[in-house]
Amino acid sequence: MDAKTRIARRVALEMTDGDVVNLGIGLPTQVVHYLPSGVEVMVQSENGFVGLGAVGKQDANLVDAGGQPAGLVPGAAMFDSAMSFALIRGGHIDVTVLGGLEVDQEGNLANWMVPGQRVPGMGGAMDLVNGARKVIVAMEHCTKKGQSKILRQCTLPLTGRQVVDVLVTELAVFSWGAEGMVLQELASEVTVADVRDKTLAEFSASPNLQTMKGVTV
């Protein structure tokens, strides 16, 4: 199982039946393919939909916020961007799943800009991290060069401060709370020492540390 599939499978377990969910572009969109049996969610998109689903008969005018072809499930609704962002800012999104470039030990997230590179902009991420009831970051633990993406302090421009509730990588699951950054789950093939070696952030290990749920090597 590759890293992105493992991450998507684990993130899917964070969903509960009936959630209204916003999925960022890239890896987060895979989450809906691995929802547990009996769990149905309504996928919201910043460009004006609640109820996005698998592509059926392709319609060039029907795309998600990332510009990818999308379908609609029964009961879906379409509206303008003003209404879409009112849902987000009004606290009506249960869960958002976003990719990340960097996350730090304070729960800060940077996921929209690398200085010196042309980027399309932040999109709705700034609104989502402040409006959604639960913010999950789904990203690989290290860069392609092997550098940790989980830092003491983010170096890239921030999307939001102290906004991350759960971070899922291919190696571990972290959460944030009154006790700071806590390692909650480990992939079966790694140890706490392995994770510390690949993580620049300071964290504590939960006394109830578990093997990562829902995935196998």
The CA distance from 146 to 132, in Å, is 31
Q: How far apart are CA 16 and CA 21, in angstroms?
A: 10
Query: What are 22's strand-pairing partners?
Result: 44, 96
Bridge pairing between strands 180-186 and 204-211: parallel
Q: Active site residue: 46, 102, 106, 170, which one?
A: 46
CA 112 – CA 123 distance, rounded (Å):
8
Q: Is 14 a catalytic residue?
A: no
CA-based angle 130:134:136, to the nearest 5? 100
DSSP string of 131-161, one letter each residue: HSSEEEEE--SB-TTS-BSEESS--SPPSBS
Distance CA 58, CA 109 (A): 35
DSSP 105-121: TT--EE-S--TTS----
| Neighbouring residues of 109: CB distance < 8 A, sequence distance ≥ 6 | 98, 100, 102, 103, 129, 135, 137, 154, 158, 159, 160, 163, 164
Distance CA 196, CA 150 (A): 10
As annotated, the active-site residues are 46
